[in-house]
Amino acid sequence: MKEKLNALLIASVDNCFNQGALKKTALPEFVIEIPNNPEHGHFATNLPMAFASSQKRPPREIASIIIKGLVDPEGLVEKAEVAGPGFINFRIRDEQWLQGLSQTINLDGDYGRSMVGKGQNVLVEFVSANPTGPLHVGHGRGAALGDTLCRILAFCGYDVLREFYINDAGQQLRMLGESVYSRFKQMDDPSFPFPEKGYHGDYVMEVARKVSDKHDLNIIGREEAIRLCAESGKDIMFEEIRETLKSFGVSFDNWYSEKDLFNSGILDRTLDTLREEGRLYEHEGAEWIRTTDFGDDKDRVIRKNDGNFTYFASDISYHLEKHKRGFSRAINLWGADHHGYVPRIKAALLARGIPENWLSILLIQLVKLWKAGQEMKMSKRAGSFVTLRELIDEVGVDAVRFVFLTKNHDSPLDFDMDIVKKQDSENPVYYVQYAHARICSIFRKAEEDGIFLPEKSDAILRRLVLDQEKALIRTMAVFPSLLVDIARSLESHRLTYYLTDLAASFHRYFNLGTKNPEYRVVTQDIELSQARLFLVKAIRIVIANGLGLMGVSAPQKM
């Protein structure tokens, strides 16, 4: 609807140009928004105010000129009026809204789908946890956010590739191997030393048991045993990570291995290119990249004086390779503790002429877990942390995902397990799900009463005349453009608020019927009942589609 109005406005301004009512100047940036105050109509635009400076006329005057020159062959607008300092407020004709409603019903599961991203392929990298331990709750937030973002992008027509980058080449894997080996040795000799920077979590002992069940670590040399522990440990952890993600409803198209980056020669090739272009230099036995030429605050080492590459080398290479693979844009979801790396990775891309906005990096703030009124401090080093697996098992996938999606990614999130575990109204996930279940229940009731929906809805929908019904129809009309907005802003949490809002409007509507039977969906008047059934069916569709994009189930019964 907003899009239609936008086109209408542009045509109208054009018309004013041709009539000489307005000077031919460039169209300014303007917005069409839904006013908070219902008295201001269904839509409002600030176009006249934005136009004031180039037209050199008062906004209100421009507003009435545009209204006079309105081009509206479809009969979209019922009323247009000048308001406030120079807004134009629009009221759309009921017919138009009803058309939107029947479209929602016809499109069903495809309602909200669009093609705005057509022709664009996007690489979304998220989670990318090291296979040196289980996923913790912070990874869960990234997984929920990333997965939902991918679903929304795909729904908006983007060609999305979901990728998990596996750090399987560096020191940390070696450390896992040493930790596992040490735990194995400690089974017989508790005084066996544990590596200083080793992984302390209990899971390491479990890995040690599993590895030693399969292999006799005593008959092979220490080095080989550590290598074996590292390799097997990685496989075990990785399997666990995949398993956890799967039960969390998160899938990936591609698992990109850092080791492959080395073995395939890609890393060397990318560095050669940078070297040829004079972006690298030797200094004190190490090799550096001149990221300061591109906005970083200091140059960075990519090869240490011991000959090993820094992790940054593979990171540069990985991202340059992403670009080379032909993606029109890339999105990374990182933990906010990595924000210091943003300027340097962007600098490295710029050094190869890749524009800064090709890569969007979403920084995800910390999750604080609360239980029994106490914060559960997490420390990976000390091995004390709540895993995503534990959280899912205790709280349930729907609730965890929903809560992770209630906050903007750059705002820290307090996760109160006591609230989220409750099976009652305090738990926010049920509010939306309940609306869905309630609608299903209405349909069961209608069926009992022998009321069924006809094929065509159009004529019947005219019976929807209540303010609440019209408001619901308008709210639902926002859904497609909301998704487009999210695809632009990458702010998935807005979907959560939208669905909560829609559910609230529905619950309110439903409750009208508890006071006055005339306002029930299923009434004595069959045609009216059918119209309302179409309405709530549309609500069910929007909620189901929205929850689907969030990876949250839409139950028929609760």
| Dist. CA 22–CA 420, nearest whole Å | 58
- Smallest gap from Cβ 463 to RNA, in A, equals 15
**Identity of the residue, 29 or 213, whose beta carbon is nearer to RNA in the bound complex:** 29
**Identity of the residue, 322 or 493, whose beta carbon is nearer to RNA in the bound complex:** 493
What letter would DSSP give residue 73?
T
| Dist. CA 15–CA 9, nearest whole Å | 10
- Smallest gap from Cβ 511 to RNA, in A, equals 4
Task: Sort strands 159-166 and 121-125 into parallel, antiparallel or unpaired.
Answer: parallel
| Dist. CA 143–CA 250, nearest whole Å | 7
| Dist. CA 473–CA 469, nearest whole Å | 6
**Identity of the residue, 218 or 408, whose beta carbon is nearer to RNA in the bound complex:** 408
The pair of three-digit structure tokens given for residue 135, joined into one six-digit string = 């996923």
Neighbours of 542 (CB within 10 A): 26
- Smallest gap from Cβ 112 to RNA, in A, equals 15
Neighbours of 263 (CB within 10 A): 11
- Smallest gap from Cβ 522 to RNA, in A, equals 4
- Smallest gap from Cβ 213 to RNA, in A, equals 27
Q: Are 450 and 406 in contact (CB under 8 A)?
A: no
| Dist. CA 558–CA 556, nearest whole Å | 7
- Smallest gap from Cβ 188 to RNA, in A, equals 29
Task: Sort strands 77-83 and 87-92 into parallel, antiparallel or unpaired.
Answer: antiparallel
**Identity of the residue, 105 or 512, whose beta carbon is nearer to RNA in the bound complex:** 512
For 199, phi then psi, to 5°, come to -90, 120
Q: How far is CA 455 from CA 104, 217, 409, 449, 464, in A?
A: 14, 70, 43, 19, 17
**Identity of the residue, 245 or 399, whose beta carbon is nearer to RNA in the bound complex:** 399
**Identity of the residue, 212 or 438, whose beta carbon is nearer to RNA in the bound complex:** 438
**Identity of the residue, 225 or 495, whose beta carbon is nearer to RNA in the bound complex:** 495
**Identity of the residue, 98 or 451, whose beta carbon is nearer to RNA in the bound complex:** 451
Q: How many helices (H) and strands (E) in the chain?
A: 19, 15
**Identity of the residue, 161 or 345, whose beta carbon is nearer to RNA in the bound complex:** 345
- Smallest gap from Cβ 532 to RNA, in A, equals 8
What is the Cα gyration radius of the chain? 29
Cα atoms in the Cβ-side hemisphere of radius 13 Å centred on 47:
26
For 291, phi then psi, to 5°, come to -75, -15
For 552, phi then psi, to 5°, come to -115, 140
The pair of three-digit structure tokens given for residue 440, joined into one six-digit string = 């299903």
- Smallest gap from Cβ 285 to RNA, in A, equals 5
- Smallest gap from Cβ 251 to RNA, in A, equals 26
